[in-house]
Amino acid sequence: MQVLQVALSEVQEPTGDPHASASPMLCLSQTPSMHFLQPIRVQIPLPPGVTGHMVDMSRLHLMHGDPTAHTWTDITAQVSLYVTHIYAVFSITNFSWYWLWYTTHRCVSGVVRKMYHRLKQFRVRFLALQRKNDPEQVLLQCLPLDRAESRLVSLSEQYEGPQPSELCVLLKGEQFFAGFERGIDINADRPDCKDGRLSFTFYSHLKHIKEVHVCPTHPQQGTVRGQVSFYRGEVPSDEEAASKRKGHDNQWMATLPLRISNADCDGSISGELNLGDPESGYLTLTNLLPISLRINQEWQNIGINLGISYDQLERIRNQHRRVCAGV
């Protein structure tokens, strides 16, 4: 479930009704997708400024959104809608988008569609790239449609990976997730990661870029050809994702391939560090190079183990971009 807030001023301008208001947009999704055995009751907050004891039911409109066709239909007459002091209550038979409007306009579908298009004018593509000198480090980014190709070129010196995803549409304030699949896991504890999913909240002014370390789910495997998928709401199970990816799936947005091998995992960062000995000396030129390479690739994990927060590490990265260019 996602609740997308809408400012009162944004509602009143397109309607031309100074007293119009709308509830937050309610986006309901379900995993797995299946028909209900019986209707489910939903309660949604009444629009701002409207309470149960003063509501004019002729001005209250429950709108149902079709996320595939991007249309809105007034279903007020088709449901049993009643209000409490602060909520409108109704029953549904499928998860979708619902929006409660309060206005003097009798026909509001066109206005709601116009408002929705204003909110959703964000066409994006996703990137999933691996650092050339450390394929376990994966960069994920959600970019405006017209900037994806140039961003890919600018990163090509240090990163490699597939072409940007196909076009996707996101709403302002919409939550989405990146889930690593088919033999690849995230190899770090992060505040923005839960149950193996990296969470994002989309706003057009943000960069929506995250870098993570990944590893094979089963280290004894050879080369792992995995993937990262981007979803709205809950991430389906592997079997479900695989089947839905071939057809229509409202939750799934894009999938991009990743490839790591044990050589990537066991290269310069595996085994014990050689710090030298009394006879040949400690921290000589001979062993400084592998030490620097090891720290270069692991500095964030070292920082986390030393108790430095993820936000502090991000600030360090931003303040010392040149030094961290190889990280």
How would you class 7 by CB atoms within 10 Å of its CB: exposed for 0-12, middle for 13-18, buried for 19 or more?
exposed
- Can you give the pLDDT at residue 248? 47
Residue in this structure with the two tokens 């509001």, named with its chain if needed: 108
Structural domains present in the chain? 2-119 (2.60.220.30), 123-266 (2.60.40.2660), 276-326 (no CATH)
Residues 21, 91 contacting (CB under 8 angstroms): no
What are the pLDDT digits (tens) for 6-26? 777 778 777 777 888 888 888
> Environment class of residue 20 by beta-carbon count within 10 Å: exposed (0-12), middle (13-18) or buried (19+)?
buried
Query: Which residues, listed in sequence order, are joined to residue 216 by a DSSP beta bridge?
Result: 184
Q: Residue 186: CB partners within 8 Å, gap ≥ 6?
A: 180, 193, 196, 198, 212, 213, 214
Cβ contact 45:3 at 8 Å: no
Contact between 224 and 259 (Cβ < 8 Å) = yes
Q: What is the distance between the alpha carbons of residues 244 and 238, in angstroms, rounded to a whole number?
A: 10
Express each pLDDT in 173-222 by its tens digit: 788 999 999 888 887 777 888 777 899 988 888 889 998 888 888 776 67
**Per-residue pLDDT tens for 218-270?**
776 678 889 999 998 655 555 555 555 444 456 789 999 999 876 555 444 44
Rounded to an integer, the average pLDDT of 287-291 is 56
- Supply the pLDDT for residue 269: 45
Q: What is the pLDDT of residues 49-79, one digit of tens each?
A: 888 888 899 999 999 988 666 788 999 999 9
Mean pLDDT across the chain, nearest whole number? 78
Indicate the angle between helix axes 285-305 and 310-319, nearest 10 degrees.
130
Q: Give percent of the chain with pLDDT exceeding 90.
A: 22
pTM here is 0.56
Q: Is the pLDDT of residue 280 over 70?
A: no
With a pLDDT cut of 70, the percent of the chain lying above it is 73
What tens digit of pLDDT does each residue of 124-137 get?
999 999 998 888 88
CA distance 317 to 327: 9
